[in-house]
Amino acid sequence: MLEKLKFHLASFDMVVKERTTATVIIEGTWGFEHTKACFRDDIIPFVKNLKELFTSFNQCLIDEVTEVQNIFKQMKLAVEQHCAEKTKFQTKMVKVLKENDRLLTQALSVEIVNIVVHDNVKFDCLNVDACAHCITTESELKLDFIKKECYEMLLQ
């Protein structure tokens, strides 16, 4: 397209230089018929070609602008989709963090209960051990007492 435009401009430039030289003007060849023929043969076709070139160039520009607009629309849609996905991800992340907090609280509660129960069991075990020791001692004393009583009875 650009080559066509250069070609037509060069040919128009050649025509203008040829027809407007000083000798041609002095000789009086610039009459009405000559001007009419010049317009018909050179200027009108040049203007038509120029108009076609500009129309073609205009269409190419419109096509390029349309393509760029389509690309920007696609980019805008991609950005909007990414934002929506980001929002969904953030929502999921908040839910996961809340669930983690809940599980941590539950785990701490269970640990506290285990510590309290373990301490109580330990204390009760100490009491049971102490009671068992007392019972053993009491049993031994009773046996000793019974033996002593039996012995005293035998002696009487």
- pLDDT tens by residue, 48-66: 888 888 888 889 899 999 9
- Domain assignment of residue 24, yes or no: yes
What tokens appear for 101 in the block?
A: 């907090």
- Domain assignment of residue 154, yes or no: no
- Domain assignment of residue 151, yes or no: no
Number of domains comprising the chain: 1
pLDDT above 90: residue 74: yes
For range 2-13, the mean pLDDT: 64
- Domain assignment of residue 122, yes or no: no
Residue 90's pLDDT is 93
- Domain assignment of residue 134, yes or no: no
- Domain assignment of residue 126, yes or no: no
Q: Which residue has the tokens 């060069």?
A: 10
Which residues does 11 contact at the CB level (< 8 Å), separation at least 6?
46
From residue 46, how far is each of 11, 29, 52, 60 by CA, in Å? 9, 22, 10, 21
- Domain assignment of residue 73, yes or no: yes
From residue 86, how far is each of 72, 100, 103 by CA, in Å? 21, 21, 25
Q: Which domain holds residue 52?
A: 2-115
- Domain assignment of residue 98, yes or no: yes
